[in-house]
Amino acid sequence: MSGMATVLDEILLGVREDLERRESAVPLKDVQRRARSVPAALDPLLAFRGDGISIIAEVKRRSPSKGPLADIPDPAVLARAYAAGGASAISVLTEERRFSGSLADLDAVRAAVDIPVLRKDFIVTPYQVWEARAHGADLVLLMVVSLEQAELVELIKLSEELGMTPLVECHTEEEVRRAVAADARLLGINARDLTTLEVDRSVFPRLAPVVPPGVITVAESGVRGPEDVAYYRQTGADVVLVGEALVRDGDPRSAIADFRAAS
């Protein structure tokens, strides 16, 4: 793969360009002022530790692997259906170019529900963590694959200082070790390899034994229905993060209820 730009490399180039544009439009100090004026972040860990599987339901319009998934004219309506179905938290894609997400979607979901909300993006700088808080996020995604260890440690620390819970995403055993070394308390294991976009559901059961007890695990990607939720639960997941299957379902509220009943 040396010399070959992966999908992830291309996404990150676009993310950095968009970030530069926002940073010159809205200086960090303005984002920080707004972050300090919004209500305190909610703690999702209590719900995630409860009996039974917890579901993080995602607002996702499109993806690089599948193209358009759903129109989602009003993310607030979808978010309310997720919450009514019993989701423990809602993930909102804010990456614009490949996922057609936005910070406006995050604002709409934040205003619509009172359960924790995750900013799902390719976060590589402190500015984006401040932005997440300024837009009311309670959790932020940090992907180990796109960060140096020192950056990972710094961004975890900043997220926690702002009262948020970082979801530290891994896809390999080496990444799990780095997440644990950086003191991640909520560790995501993504079935999708973001360099190739391939989904492999056996990644979760392979990596889960490397995660120390006490660290909460989130199985991410590739859930098609209740049987996949049950599979992740049986292999040790505390939480399952579901996007495509929910945004494509005509009745997301009962779909979530079915996912929770399956485990």
Ligand X SMILES: O=P(O)(O)OC[C@@H](O)[C@@H](O)c1c[nH]c2ccccc12
Q: Per-residue x/- mask for ligand X, residues 32 to 71, rule CB under 6 A?
A: --------------------------x-x-----------
Q: What tokens does 124 get?
A: 């590589």
Q: Exactly one of 54, 58, 91, 159 is catalytic; name it.
A: 58
β pairing state of 165-170 and 54-59: unpaired
Active site residue 58: yes
Determine if 217 is a binding residue for ligand X (CB under 6 A): no
Shortest CB 190 distance to ligand X, Å:
5
CA distance 93 to 4: 26
Q: Exactly one of 146, 175, 221, 244 is catalytic; name it.
A: 221
Q: Which residue among 142, 242, 255, 256 contacts ligand X (CB under 6 A)?
A: 242
DSSP 24-87: HHS-HHHHHHHHHHSPPPP--HHHHHSSS-EEEEEE-SEETTTEE----S-HHHHHHHHHHHT-
Q: Cβ of 150: how many Cβ atoms within 10 Å?
A: 9
Contacts (CB under 6 A) with ligand X, residues 113-142: 120
Determine if 190 is a binding residue for ligand X (CB under 6 A): yes
Determine if 85 is a binding residue for ligand X (CB under 6 A): no
Instruction: Using CB under 6 A, list all residues that contact ligand X.
Output: 58, 60, 120, 169, 190, 220-223, 241-245
